[in-house]
Amino acid sequence: MKLKTFLLVVFISSVTYSQSEYNTENLLVTKSDLEQNIFSKDSTANALVIYEIGNSYIDRDDFKLHSEIKRKIKILNRDGFNKATEEILLYTNDSGRKEIVEDITATVYNLKNGIIEKTKLSDDDIIEEKYNDNYTIVKFTFPNIQPGSVINYSYTFISPFFFKYKSWAFQKDIPTLYSEYNASIPGNWEYNIKLVGGRKLFINEADIKYSCLEVNGGGSSNCSEYRYAMKDIPAFVAEDYMTTESNYLAKIDYELNVFRGFDGKVDKINKSWKDTDLEIRRETDFGRMMKKGNLARNELEGVTINTTNDLEKTQDIYHYVRDHYNWNGEHKLFNDVSLKNLIKEKTGTATEINMLLYNLLLDNDIEVKPLLLSTRENGFITKIYPVISDYNYVLVHASIDGETYLLDANDDYLSFGQIPYKCLNQYGRLFNTKMGSSWFDINPSQSSIMNYRGQLNLEDNQLHGAFELTSTDYNAYASKKQYFSDSEKTLHTLVDAKSDIELSNANYHNITKTDSTFHMSFDVSKSLELIGEKVYFNPYVIEFFPENPFKLQERSYPVDFGYEQSFIYTCKINLGEHYFVEELPEPKKLNLPENAGSLICNYSISENSVLVYFKLNFNKAIYDPIFYSYLKDMLKDVVDVQKNAILVLTKKN
């Protein structure tokens, strides 16, 4: 009996093991791959990469970069069907050199009555679409996809462009069990290799292959052979308060640094900052725009500036440029920009408008420098070496009476000295035409505040009163844009009121587009239910966070608000002659480590009124991942307090 029990346990264990294992060793599709319809490590996964491998090398015959991509994907359920379409973006430059894709093959595997059924991709399933003048998309959708399907596909990507060697993303928006990349780089090409995302490599090997390339005349080159691999990579899940996900995905990136020709010619692509500064000044439209003083000077003819005060003079010129020129939505930086066209058309790129401001200020003896940066959506700037393609925006850095002001004249809703939220991307490169460039940290000078202050009266089971909202800086920016686009809907758009609260009679106080403060007031009313002789109600009319924005189990990338901020709610509730307080909500006090933030909720009684005080501080613009659990817990408390705090009143006899 014991032997039978033992054998049964062994049998069940072996079956369970075989059913829970995917083949992560190679591209072979096994029956076990097909039998699985869940992924125990991530119950939310709709699909996963079981195995993938990339192999990049310079072909000996055509001297182009070939990248062979092979991948095996499991479709767990219908929500994973979107992974049954592959899109490949191909680039063509202005001279007609282009990337191509060849040898596309794919097979879809399904399990039918215990038998493996195969469906192959046909040529008719492959579609080519023109995206724009420089890009084409090759797209193919795998046939006969079902929940439980496994897709096995491959193709070869061929590129004549070596500036960026083929990058490899180990991490995706679905889990990946095993990902390997092999790169063969001839000694002629010297790349800066960058591992992004902070995840450790499971395999990191390098070797030398001799005479991997040969040319007529006897020239040859050795190749560095690299092998990288990661395994058990979780899906990357984007969440609120982050910059572009490309900053954090686990991947290998390459930037060409030096090219050595077989004829002995050496072309240094990534230069020193000294050389790069000189190249920008001499060889780009941007550099030429720093010398347009005469052209800019004529633009202020007829404009009266009645002040010798440098700050007031700067403000007048800033307002003139902002009010007379319109941004066309383009972010061109180094080339295809012209002050002449801007002045003629009165509409231009962000660079043209801000460089006009720079020239006008410079011509009026204001100490200014261009600040080159990358916007949040464009990604982080590489600090190790100059990569001018990292940059896509410019601000004007002005030094006046010992104070620094960052200026952007492209947005009607920015106040003087405020820069767009998209530019809050940690740091930029300050361009000094005489001394060379240097790094500059981009930090808003003060915290943005959202402050609700109210007074309510309780009469005949009716709560009514008024609130004032005062918001500053970036918290005021969105309010201003909403107000000037549709003032009638502003109240209900801006105020996250409880569903049982009625808001009315919005009044906006002397609001202009460029004010750093937004100020409004409104009336509040709510009916209360008398249960026995008691009234139960939540003293929070407004919710700063209707739900917790942090939902991940853990987060491997920073929480990036962009700026420090505070949320304040104060309210005085007058109980009149008919009620007295039986129970106040529980007070709460919470501090994040290193004084990085805090939450305070206090409730008190003064005469026959209840005083409510709530303050939430984020004392950092950017929080490292180690703070994530603390932030998540604090926001959980914020939501709980503002949804569930209960004030209990008893009606007097």
Are 9 and 35 within 8 A, CB to CB?
A: no
Work out the average pLDDT over 344-366. Answer: 92
- In sequence order, the 6+-apart residues with CB closer than 8 A to the CB of 72 are 27, 29, 33, 49, 50, 51, 52, 150, 151, 152
Work out the average pLDDT over 54-71. Answer: 93
| Lowest mean pLDDT, pick from 224-233, 237-246, 277-286 | 277-286
| 1 falls within a domain | no
Higher pLDDT, 29 or 133: 29
| CATH code of the domain covering residue 159 | 2.60.40.3140
**pLDDT attached to residue 192:** 86
Which has the closest alpha carbon to 436: 286, 279, 274? 274
Residue 200, φ and ψ in degrees, nearest 5: -85, 145
Q: Give 445's pLDDT tier (boundaries 50, 70, 90).
A: confident
Last residue of a domain, one of 400, 418, 441: 441
**pLDDT attached to residue 279:** 87
Higher pLDDT, 259 or 452: 452
Is the confidence at residue 642, as pLDDT, over 80? yes
| 256 falls within a domain | yes
**pLDDT attached to residue 12:** 39
The one-letter amino acid code at 619 reads N
* Pair 436, 457 in one domain: no
Assigned token pair, 514:
């460029």
The share of the chain scoring above pLDDT 90, in percent, equals 61
* Pair 424, 293 in one domain: yes
| Lowest mean pLDDT, pick from 164-173, 202-211, 258-267, 325-334 | 258-267
| 565 falls within a domain | yes
The one-letter amino acid code at 173 reads D
| Lowest mean pLDDT, pick from 79-93, 392-406, 490-504 | 490-504
Lateral strand order in the sheet of 403-407: 403-407, 393-400, 367-373, 427-432, 436-441
Rg (CA), the chain: 31
| 312 falls within a domain | yes
* Pair 19, 152 in one domain: yes
HSE, side-chain direction, 13 A CA sphere, residue 200 = 1
**pLDDT attached to residue 300:** 66
C-alpha–C-alpha distance, residues 466 and 638, integer Å: 23
Which has the closest alpha carbon to 172: 92, 238, 91, 271? 238
**pLDDT attached to residue 503:** 87
| 3 falls within a domain | no
| CATH code of the domain covering residue 510 | 2.60.120.1130
Q: For the segment 547-575, what is each residue's pLDDT rounded down to a tens digit?
A: 999 999 889 899 999 999 999 999 999 99
**pLDDT attached to residue 140:** 93
**pLDDT attached to residue 296:** 66
Q: State the total domains in the chain.
A: 3
Classify residue 469 by burial, with Cβ atoms within 10 Å: 0-12, 13-18, 19+: buried
Q: For the segment 570-626, what is each residue's pLDDT rounded down to a tens digit?
A: 999 999 888 889 999 999 999 999 999 999 999 999 888 999 999 999 999 999 999
Is the confidence at residue 28, as pLDDT, over 90? yes
* Pair 403, 345 in one domain: yes
Helices (DSSP H) in 404-519: which residue ranges?
A: 473-485, 490-494
Last residue of a domain, one of 266, 282, 297: 266
* Pair 452, 427 in one domain: no
Q: Find tokens 């929500």 and name the residue.
A: 79
- 90's enclosing H/E stretch is strand 85-91
Work out the average pLDDT over 264-288. Answer: 83
**pLDDT attached to residue 492:** 77
Check residue 265 and report its DSSP letter. -
Classify residue 31 by burial, with Cβ atoms within 10 Å: 0-12, 13-18, 19+: middle
| 482 falls within a domain | yes
Last residue of a domain, one of 240, 266, 292: 266
* Pair 136, 250 in one domain: yes
Which has the closest alpha carbon to 293: 358, 370, 366? 358
C-alpha–C-alpha distance, residues 271 and 287, integer Å: 17
The share of the chain scoring above pLDDT 70, in percent, equals 94
* Pair 607, 562 in one domain: yes
Strands 347-348 and 326-327 come out as parallel
The one-letter amino acid code at 78 reads R
| CATH code of the domain covering residue 397 | 3.10.620.30
Structural domain for 456, as ranges: 448-651
* Pair 15, 129 in one domain: yes
What is the pTM assigned to this prediction?
0.86
- Which range of 37-41, 143-147, 195-199, 286-290 scores highest in mean pLDDT? It is 143-147
Are 622 and 630 within 8 A, CB to CB?
A: no
* Pair 363, 386 in one domain: yes
**pLDDT attached to residue 218:** 66
* Pair 48, 185 in one domain: yes
| 600 falls within a domain | yes
Work out the average pLDDT over 23-44. Answer: 92
* Pair 374, 455 in one domain: no
* Pair 292, 250 in one domain: no
Are 32 and 18 within 8 A, CB to CB?
A: yes
What is the overall mean pLDDT for the chain?
A: 89
| 2 falls within a domain | no
Classify residue 321 by burial, with Cβ atoms within 10 Å: 0-12, 13-18, 19+: buried
